[in-house]
Structure 1
Amino acid sequence: MYFLVLGTDAPGKSDVRLRTRPQHRAYLRDPDGHPVKVHLGGPTLSADGETMNGTLLVVEAGDIGDVDRFVADDPYSRAGLFARVEVRPWAWSLGTPETTR
């Protein structure tokens, strides 16, 4: 089952994002014990197209609880970067996961 994860940065936390970004990126590539596979991901941007202000992920997992635990263990979450995180089940209907690898 696929899920969309949308994290919105808390105001004034750009230093937290920059400091923890290497650990966050490593975690997404090797989630150490989590049954979650990240298919797509990247930062969301403000209207200027340059300032990172959140995170968007498309992940695959057995259930939403697995995704919630995965997000809670993300270095960004542990560092208090996000003001809000939304996890939604998602039906992949345009393109296929196989073409994104």
Structure 2
Amino acid sequence: MPYFCVHAFDHPGRLADRQRLRDAHRARLRLHDHPVVVRIGGPLTDDNGAMIGSLLVIEAANRGDVAQFLAGDPYAEAGLYRELTVTRFNWGLGLPEAAHG
């Protein structure tokens, strides 16, 4: 299955919202009631370590499945993101299957 890299940047001044929604967001990433698998995820930070967005690597059959999954994310539902991009990703170095093969 293909991989997709998601870069999501928060609207300025929304750190309190990110922190309030973080547990629900993280729980959603670990659920398996959708047709995608989140392989890597974590917050993007500024140079001072403050969270400013999210980075995800998602395995999915197609971009539509990724979009549907992201639409149900608590951060997205709350309008936290000012910019969200989904880019097809050809995983090379550190491919998960290589570590388990």
Task: Specify if TM > 0.5.
Answer: yes
How many residues are paired up?
A: 98
Q: Give the corresponding residue for 1:15.
A: 16
C-alpha displacement at 1:31, in angstroms? 4.5
Name the SS of the counterpart of 1:43 in structure 2.
Answer: strand
Provide Cα deviations, 1:46-87, integer angstroms capped at 9, x if missing partner.
011x20000000010000000011111101100111001000
1:22-101 aligned within 5 A: 22-32=23-33, 34-48=34-48, 50-98=49-97, 99=99
Change (3 A) 1:81 1:7: same
Query: Using the alignment, how far apart are the partners of 2:68 and 2:82 within structure 1?
Result: 17
Instruction: Report percent identity of matched pairs.
Output: 47
Provide Cα deviations, 1:7-39, integer angstroms capped at 9, x if missing partner.
00001111110000000000000053x201000
Name the SS of the counterpart of 2:25 in structure 1.
Answer: helix
Structure 1: 5+ residue stretches without partners: none
What CA RMSD, in Å, does the superposition of the two structures yield over aligned residues?
1.3
Query: Using the alignment, how far apart are the partners of 2:30 and 2:56 within structure 1?
Result: 12
With normalisation by structure 2, the TM-score equals: 0.92
Query: Using the alignment, how far apart are the partners of 2:91 and 2:65 within structure 1?
Result: 18
Name the SS of the counterpart of 1:89 in structure 2.
Answer: strand
Name the SS of the counterpart of 2:16 in structure 1.
Answer: helix
